[in-house]
């Protein structure tokens, strides 16, 4: 029986939402079909931390697009507030925000996605949803209002997820700059005794590298 009122989880389909944005109406995830997207919420327009985040997201927009990934912002402010705020950013910081921002002034999207945390106030926390080109939620992050996000980490996560999908591998901590194996990727653990033995044979032949049969890695 489906759980009522539960927020979506990793591996589930992103809920169907019709939203109003600074660039018109969007139907998610349908309008992003065939593309990845990062949906991120911010507590409020005209606030210092959120302003730094939007400028940082915009500075990386081209890199996200190279990964076939769109950026979509969101807060519970109204459209006119979003428009005035991005005008201010352009006029005062010289940065034009070119990705859409959802105006969730009724709070329905925020409630659906668990972006409202009562103990942190009535505004949205800094949530991040990474959704793949099939509309599946692949990663969820929640930051409190007082902590700005690391946009490079979100970009890295998209790259890592796509690498995992494309090559059937896992990525280590701080990839591609892991202190143990560098930019190499991890071969998934063996699922049988035979496969474990085969891993060690592959290591001997140089096809992969292993610290042990359960910890093998390779170049892409």
Q: Residues with catalytic annotation?
A: 50
Residues counted in the chain: 220
List own/partner pairs for 25-30 with CB under 8 A and 24 or more apart: 26/72, 26/100, 26/102, 28/72, 29/131, 29/135, 30/135
C-alpha torsion sign, points 212, 214, 217, 220: positive
Residues forming a β-bridge with 178: 182
Q: In angstroms, rounded to a whole number, what is the distance separating the alpha carbons of residues 59 and 154?
A: 13
With contact defined as beta carbons under 8 Å apart, do 64 and 153 qualify?
no
């Amino acid at each position: 029986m489906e759980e009522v009122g539960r927020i979506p989880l990793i591996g589930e389909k992103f809920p169907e939402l019709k939203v109003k944005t600074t660039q018109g109406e969007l139907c998610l995830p349908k309008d992003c079909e065939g593309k990845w997207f990062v949906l991120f919420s911010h507590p409020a327009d005209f606030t210092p931390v959120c302003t730094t985040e939007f400028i940082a997201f915009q500075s990386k927009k081209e890199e996200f697009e190279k990964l076939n990934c769109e950026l979509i912002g969101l807060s519970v402010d109204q459209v006119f507030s979003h428009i005035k705020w991005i005008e201010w950013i352009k006029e005062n910081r010289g940065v034009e925000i070119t990705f859409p921002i959802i105006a969730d002034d009724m709070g329905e999207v925020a409630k659906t996605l668990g972006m409202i945390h009562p103990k942190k106030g009535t505004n949205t926390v800094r949530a991040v949803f990474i959704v793949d080109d099939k509309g599946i939620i692949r990663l969820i992050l929640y930051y409190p209002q007082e902590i700005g996000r690391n946009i490079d980490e979100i970009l890295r996560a998209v790259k890592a997820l796509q690498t995992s999908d494309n090559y059937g591998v896992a990525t280590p901590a701080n990839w591609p700059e892991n202190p143990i194996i560098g930019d190499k990727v991890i071969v998934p653990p063996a699922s049988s005794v035979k496969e474990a033995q085969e891993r060690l044979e592959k290591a001997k032949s140089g096809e992969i590298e292993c610290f042990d049969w359960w910890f093998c890695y390779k170049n892409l």
